[in-house]
């Protein structure tokens, strides 16, 4: 089990010490305790915690919600609210800052542990989705630049694979001067693979380019590529270590 670094932001000493005791017993690393927003900001920079337990009612002038806004806007760290309030209006105000959890005082160590684990898992999933989306956006930018270059240079046909020619303007594939009948998605699959010929095109990139909604899955891609392969005279599309597909440059 990983020992996660946690910062406690709580102005009540009894509560903060109880939290520290519970967290250490649950095998978490309490890096520090802050009792106001200024301390919290400094300790976030110094200790770089993996999670913050934040009292929602820190003080009258600069409460936990304002600190939560700072964390959301400036730090890539999940936080969980601690509060003695359970009223729906108060919770609604807190939810606007998008916390990764909410614990009402007093709470049991078991619920504390469960909430922390769920928050860390949710944060990791969110981070992976962001990274995946960034990769897709970068790949799509490359693709758009490539097609723009082809259009500007009046390059209509792309030859590859010892006999294949793909006409980008009409999305038409031929082999040894014979047209291969393909569906629209099969043609788009060829085009996106040719956009990065010699390099792996990820499942995420293929989905983003071909499907205009979120209904597609990795299996959708596998099925599409399988059908496409059955129509091609030779094996030109290869699996790439479970990451996606590739058309080799030679």
pLDDT in tens, 71-86: 988 888 999 998 876 6
Name the nearest CA neighbour of 8 among 36, 39, 33, 38.
Answer: 33
Tokens, residue 133: 């989306």
Distance CA 189, CA 178 (A): 19
Return the structure tokens found at 125. Answer: 């999933």
Q: Which overall architecture, per CATH, does domain 156-247 show?
A: Orthogonal Bundle (1.10)
Tens digit of each residue's pLDDT (9 = 90 or more) over 140-194: 666 665 555 545 444 578 899 889 999 988 889 999 999 999 999 999 999 889 8
Task: Assign 3-class secondary structure to 125-146.
Answer: HHHHHHHHHHHHHHHHHHHHHH
| 3-state secondary structure at position 201 | strand
Domain layout of the chain by residue ranges: 5-130, 156-247
Are 34 and 43 spatial neighbours (Cβ–Cβ below 8 Å)?
Answer: yes
Given CA atoms 186, 192, 198, 204 in this order, what sign does their dihedral have? negative
Q: Do residues 119 and 103 touch, judged by C-beta distance below 8 A? A: no
pLDDT in tens, the chain (250 residues): 568 999 999 988 898 999 999 999 999 999 999 988 889 999 999 999 999 999 988 765 457 888 888 998 888 899 999 887 665 666 777 788 889 988 888 888 889 999 999 999 988 888 777 776 666 666 666 666 555 554 544 457 889 988 999 998 888 999 999 999 999 999 999 988 988 888 898 888 888 888 876 678 889 999 999 999 999 999 999 998 788 999 987 6
Domain covering 5-130, topology: Rossmann fold (3.40.50)
Can you tell me whether residue 115 is helix, strand or coil?
A: helix
Three-state SS at 196: coil
């Amino acid at each position: 089990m990983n020992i996660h670094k946690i910062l406690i932001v709580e102005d009540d000493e009894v509560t903060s010490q109880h939290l520290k005791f519970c967290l250490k017993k649950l095998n978490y690393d309490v890096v520090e305790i802050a009792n106001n927003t200024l301390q919290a900001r400094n300790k976030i920079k110094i200790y770089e915690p993996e999670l913050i337990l934040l009292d929602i009612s820190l003080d009258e002038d600069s409460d936990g919600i304002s600190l939560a806004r700072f964390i959301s806007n400036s730090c890539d760290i999940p936080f969980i609210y601690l509060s003695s309030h359970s009223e729906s209006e108060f919770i609604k105000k807190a939810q606007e800052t998008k916390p990764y959890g909410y614990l009402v005082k007093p709470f049991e160590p078991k619920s504390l542990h469960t909430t922390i684990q769920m928050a860390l898992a949710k944060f990791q999933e969110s981070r992976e989705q962001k990274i995946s989306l960034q990769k897709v956006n970068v790949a799509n930018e490359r693709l758009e630049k490539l097609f723009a270059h082809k259009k500007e240079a009046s390059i209509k046909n792309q030859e590859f694979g010892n006999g294949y020619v793909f006409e980008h303007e009409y999305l038409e594939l031929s082999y040894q001067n014979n047209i291969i009948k393909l569906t629209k998605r099969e043609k788009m699959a060829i085009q996106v693979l040719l956009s990065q010929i010699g390099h792996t095109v990820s499942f995420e990139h293929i989905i983003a380019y071909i499907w205009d909604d979120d209904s597609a899955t990795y299996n959708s891609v596998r099925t599409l590529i399988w059908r496409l392969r059955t129509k091609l005279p030779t094996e030109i599309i290869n699996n790439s270590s479970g990451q996606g597909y590739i058309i080799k440059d030679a």
